């Protein structure tokens, strides 16, 4: 398949490499990042999109997505698929889908879960919004880049699923870090805490698979000085998107709102930028009540 790939940073580059390794013809464009091995470089986003059957984008935010879509959609072949794997606001995803439909282009919003490690290993999960026709066209590529792709509904549904998932993740990571800090002060051994909670009603992905306590549970960024697998500032971005979405539909999300404020403080005022989002644990260790 002829694929255009726009946005070849930490996530996009390994995804594109996996497509090349599977035998696909990938033409890429990124104004800053180098071309991964096997990817043919284009001089513009439109150039990468012009002959493609599927154009994949992995971009920082909705504003950039809208700008790239405005450039590539007029260059794409009718019936081709624009598949955006960025995490952006639902409104931008739906706006781009509408613009694509008006030009005879199919569109998917397909944000991912699994981080850089999942991108490299080809084990991402894709949450996909758009038509069933577009989903089926791109499904073979999802199978190469990831281990699971869920068709969540019409345009914007993929972003909605990602935003809701990561709001849960942010809230549960904070609760997990709070609990470890409390356990420390109560004199409870961290390994015993893990052994109980990971098999009891308090279990979660944050505890069982990504434990924020070094030396406890499966290996995680906590065992590597909290170097990011998923950076705190990216969690803050996703939590802000959740609150923007909640405001747009008048949804009451007090825990999501508080998690957003805590990560904002951590990233902007407490040195959390550039650290993993699980570094909330040492943050709570240093703090006192009130």
Per-residue pLDDT tens digits for 102-140: 999 999 999 999 888 899 999 999 999 999 999 999 999
Both tokens assigned to 90: 């639902």
Q: CB of 15 within 8 A of CB of 119?
A: yes
Both tokens assigned to 101: 């439909």
Q: CB of 193 within 8 A of CB of 179?
A: yes
Q: CB of 34 within 8 A of CB of 40?
A: no
Per-residue pLDDT tens digits for 167-217: 999 999 999 999 999 999 999 999 999 999 999 999 999 999 999 999 999
Per-residue pLDDT tens digits for 87-108: 999 999 999 999 999 999 999 9
CA-CA distance, 177 to 236, in Å (whole number)?
Answer: 16
Name which of 115, 4, 2, 131 is nearest 56 in CA terms: 4
Task: Output the pTM of the full model.
Answer: 0.92
Q: Is 219 a catalytic residue?
A: no
Quote the pLDDT of residue 226: 98
Quote the pLDDT of residue 179: 98
Average pLDDT over residues 78-91: 97
CA-CA distance, 101 to 105, in Å (whole number)?
Answer: 5
Instruction: Give first-to-last CA distance, the chain, whole Å.
Output: 58
Catalytic residue, candidates 78, 162, 237, 286: 162
| Displacement of CA 21 from its chain's centroid (Å) | 23
Per-residue pLDDT tens digits for 17-60: 999 999 999 999 999 999 999 999 999 999 999 999 999 999 99
Quote the pLDDT of residue 14: 97
């Amino acid at each position: 398949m002829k694929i255009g790939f726009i946005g070849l940073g930490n996530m996009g580059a390994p995804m594109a490499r996996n497509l090349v390794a599977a035998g696909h013809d990938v033409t890429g464009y990124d104004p800053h990042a180098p071309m991964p091995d096997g990817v043919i470089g284009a001089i513009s986003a439109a150039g990468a999109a012009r002959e493609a059957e599927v154009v994949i984008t992995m971009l920082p935010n909705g504003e950039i997505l809208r700008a790239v879509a405005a450039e590539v959609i007029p260059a794409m072949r009718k019936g081709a698929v624009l598949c955006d794997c960025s995490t952006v606001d639902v409104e931008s995803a739906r706006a781009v889908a509408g613009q694509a439909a008006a030009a005879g282009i199919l569109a998917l919003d397909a944000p991912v879960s699994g981080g850089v490690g999942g991108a490299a290993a080809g084990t991402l999960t894709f949450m996909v919004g758009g038509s069933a026709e577009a989903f089926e066209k791109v499904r073979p590529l999802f199978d190469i880049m990831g281990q699971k792709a869920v068709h969540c509904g019409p345009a914007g549904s993929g972003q909605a699923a990602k935003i809701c998932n990561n709001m849960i993740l942010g809230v549960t990571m904070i609760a997990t870090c709070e609990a470890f800090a409390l356990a420390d002060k109560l004199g409870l051994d961290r390994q015993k805490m893990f052994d109980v909670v990971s098999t009891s009603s308090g279990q979660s992905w944050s505890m069982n698979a990504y434990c924020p306590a070094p030396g406890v549970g499966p290996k995680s960024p906590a065992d590597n000085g909290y170097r990011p697998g998923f950076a705190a500032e990216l969690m803050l971005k996703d939590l802000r998107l959740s609150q923007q979405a909640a405001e747009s539909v008048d949804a009451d999300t007090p825990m999501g709102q508080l998690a957003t404020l805590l990560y904002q403080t951590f990233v902007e005022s407490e040195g959390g930028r550039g650290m993993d989002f699980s570094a909330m644990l040492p943050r709570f260790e240093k703090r006192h009540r009130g």
